């Protein structure tokens, strides 16, 4: 076991706190990948040799240092690769490290009874397709013919799914991945039950993310929503955009869709955060042209609004839905 997947609990109060916790991990290994808003992957192959301890023993030291220096506990999963470490994290509990052994037979036994949704990257649509054909566990997926999986979900996706179901983990820890994202958070003064206020916070956050992306001449490929609750738990969901964009209405629509998909009913929400990931230069982005003049008009207005905000401040121009309130 050489990879740790760490989730900090309680989550950092803001994005600015996460680098301090990442710095603590970097005292053990320079190969640390941020998993905003509250986690990280750490490759301990060199650290195991340097400190003369295995990954589980180092995880105990990391937990103690996190508590002592930052007052933050850790939930930690360990495995021979990033995928298995992430899956181990889902089975971990505060105060204990859940480890997946590196032997192929042990990995196969660990995966066999897992539902297909336990595999990172398998969404609801893929899960429904597989389940309709009786492939509801990773053990059954691993035993299925490759041609069957490719016929159901596509050639590349079927090959990758079968490899993962058999414990083949080709992922790697990529240091400094946090630099390819932008995030903002909207905390509430008190635990908020009103969905309308949740949506106002989403609108405000999406507007800020869009303006920051355009100022940097960047676009994002993925939008991630994190909802923090009164009991300090959190739910995180991501969605890949139809096309890379920095267009605020597109970001807002995606944020609303992520929120609606959670199906929250009278949830006591403490904060809402949005993160734009997979940043790339706006010059290399493609934009699907339409015959709708309204879309082009909105984009021209957005450019004018950006210039006004740059000159007179971020609140010089804002959506009507945010008028008269500090969202």
pLDDT tens digits, 17-52: 677 788 889 999 999 998 877 889 999 999 999 999
User: What is the tens place of the pLDDT at every residue in 136-181?
Assistant: 999 999 999 999 999 999 999 999 999 999 999 888 898 865 556 7
* Residue 249: both structure tokens together: 């209405």
Which residues contact residue 43 at a Cβ distance below 8 angstroms, ignoring those fewer than 6 apart? 2, 3, 29, 31, 32, 172, 173
Q: What value does the mean pLDDT take over residues 93-97?
A: 84
User: What is the tens place of the pLDDT at every residue in 179-205?
Assistant: 567 888 899 988 999 999 999 999 999
Structure confidence at residue 142 (pLDDT): 93
| 27-30, long-range: CB < 8 A, 24+ apart | 27/65, 28/58, 28/61, 28/62, 30/175
User: From CA 134, how far away is CA 140, in angstroms rounded?
Assistant: 8
Which residues contact residue 111 at a Cβ distance below 8 angstroms, ignoring those fewer than 6 apart? 138, 139, 142, 165, 166, 167
Per-residue confidence at 114, pLDDT binned at 50, 70, 90? Answer: very high
User: What is the tens place of the pLDDT at every residue in 81-90?
Assistant: 999 999 999 8
Q: Which of 11-15, 70-74, 210-214 has the least mean pLDDT?
A: 11-15
Q: What is the DSSP letter of 210?
A: H
Considering the chain, what percentage of its residues have pLDDT values greater than 70? 85
Structure confidence at residue 179 (pLDDT): 53
Structure confidence at residue 242 (pLDDT): 87
Q: Is the pLDDT of residue 104 over 70?
A: yes
Structure confidence at residue 263 (pLDDT): 87
Per-residue confidence at 226, pLDDT binned at 50, 70, 90? Answer: very high
Structure confidence at residue 324 (pLDDT): 55
Q: Is the pLDDT of residue 123 over 70?
A: yes
**DSSP string for 8-51:** EESPPSSGGGHHHHHHHHTTT-S-EEEETTTEEEEE-HHHHHHH
Structure confidence at residue 326 (pLDDT): 44
Q: Is the pLDDT of residue 235 over 80?
A: yes
- Which backbone phi and psi does 218 adopt, to 5 degrees? -125, 160
Per-residue confidence at 327, pLDDT binned at 50, 70, 90? Answer: very low
Structure confidence at residue 296 (pLDDT): 65
Residue with tokens 């195991």: 48
> 206, 255 in Cβ contact below 8 A?
yes
Residues pairing with 195 in the sheet: none
Q: Tell me which of 244 and 290 has the higher pLDDT.
A: 244
Structure confidence at residue 120 (pLDDT): 82
pTM recorded for the entire structure: 0.60
> 185, 14 in Cβ contact below 8 A?
yes
Q: Tell me which of 24 and 325 has the higher pLDDT.
A: 24
Candidates 128, 117, 168, 162; CA nearest to 144 is 162
Which residues contact residue 152 at a Cβ distance below 8 angstroms, ignoring those fewer than 6 apart? 129, 130, 133, 135, 158
3-class SS of residue 203: helix
Q: Is the pLDDT of residue 16 over 60?
A: no
User: From CA 256, how far away is CA 132, in angstroms rounded?
Assistant: 29
Residue with tokens 């204990």: 96
Structure confidence at residue 42 (pLDDT): 95
Q: What value does the mean pLDDT take over residues 60-65?
A: 93
């Amino acid at each position: 076991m050489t990879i740790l997947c760490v989730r900090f609990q309680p989550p950092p109060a803001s994005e600015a706190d996460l680098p301090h916790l990442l710095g603590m991990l970097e005292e053990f290994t320079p190969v640390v990948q941020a998993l905003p808003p509250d986690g990280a992957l750490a490759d301990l192959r060199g650290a195991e040799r340097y400190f003369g301890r295995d990954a589980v023993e180092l995880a105990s030291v990391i937990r103690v240092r996190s508590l002592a220096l930052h007052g933050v506990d850790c939930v930690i999963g360990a495995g021979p690769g990033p995928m298995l470490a992430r899956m181990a994290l889902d089975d971990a509990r505060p105060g204990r490290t859940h480890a997946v052994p590196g032997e192929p037979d042990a990995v196969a036994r660990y995966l066999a009874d897992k539902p297909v949704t336990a595999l990172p990257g398998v969404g609801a649509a893929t899960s429904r397709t597989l389940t309709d054909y009786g492939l509801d566990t990773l053990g059954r997926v691993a035993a299925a013919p490759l041609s069957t999986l490719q016929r159901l979900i596509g050639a590349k996706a079927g090959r990758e799914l079968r490899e993962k179901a058999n414990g083949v983990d080709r992922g790697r820890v990529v240091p400094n991945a946090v630099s390819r994202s932008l995030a903002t958070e909207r905390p509430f003064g008190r635990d908020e039950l009103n969905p309308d206020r949740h949506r106002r916070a989403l609108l405000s956050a999406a507007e800020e993310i869009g303006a920051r992306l355009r100022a940097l001449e960047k676009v994002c490929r993925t939008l991630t929503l994190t909802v923090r609750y009164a009991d300090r738990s959190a739910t995180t969901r991501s969605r890949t955009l139809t096309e890379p964009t920095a267009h605020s209405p597109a970001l807002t629509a995606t944020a609303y869709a992520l929120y609606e998909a959670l199906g929250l009913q009278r949830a006591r929400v403490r904060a809402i955060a949005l993160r734009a990931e997979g940043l790339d230069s706006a010059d290399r982005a493609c934009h699907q042209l339409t015959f709708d003049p309204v879309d082009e008009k909105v984009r021209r207005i957005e450019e004018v609004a950006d210039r006004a905000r740059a000159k007179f401040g971020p609140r010089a121009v804002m959506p009507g839905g945010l008028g008269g309130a500090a969202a």
